[in-house]
Copies of this chain bind each other. A is one copy, B any other.
């Protein structure tokens, strides 16, 4: 057995996980992060975000050698050209990704070997809100449904506890369910 197989569970290095937690306990200021995205309009609904740098663990990150580019758009029925997922679909993806990572990390910490984590997310909205046609419907989703299928080497009860703990600790679940203050600034020159 190599040392790697001793400490890696679900693809997560648990020795590194515990070391990180100990470091943050000792130096809480290392837990401060700033994440960023820059976006540029291309044409019509088509726009693109660039994501690379972030601040965390007391320094600007230097591990990302290339930037991530994300194209967004709208389908034809919403006046776009299908140049990418639309913004509300990206929000569903953000939520799915965050809950999934939390499930994988919590399972690793609790010595559960996962074999699969799959999810389907749905969001319903009435476009009269965002189109400004009716003040009744809100702009965004009225509700989001998340359906997880999680399998691994633990009894159902323990797998359900892992998902519940992940939900309690997910950053995007927190933001999507509780909301976040957003400040918008504008320059025009």
Contacts and interface: CB of A to CB of B under 8 A. Distances in A.
B47 A97 contact: yes
Q: Label chain A's interface by main secondary structure.
A: mixed
B124 A12 contact: no
Interface residues of A, number: 130
Nearest to A134: B28
Interface of A: 10-13, 16-17, 20-21, 24-25, 28, 31-41, 43-47, 49, 51, 54, 56-57, 61, 63-64, 68, 70, 72, 74-80, 82, 84-105, 114, 116-134, 137-151, 156, 159-160, 163, 165, 167, 169-189
A63 B87 contact: no
Given A38-B118, A148-B187, A171-B140, A97 B90 contact: yes
A167 B146 contact: no
A24 B133 contact: yes
Given A34-B124, A117-B40, A133-B25, A97 B184 contact: no
Given A36-B122, A46-B11, A79-B17, A146 B41 contact: no
Given A51-B85, A77-B63, A117 B41 contact: yes
A50 B1 CA distance: 36
A160 to B, nearest CB: 6
A169 B31 contact: no
Contacts of A35: 86, 88-89, 92, 122-123, 125, 141
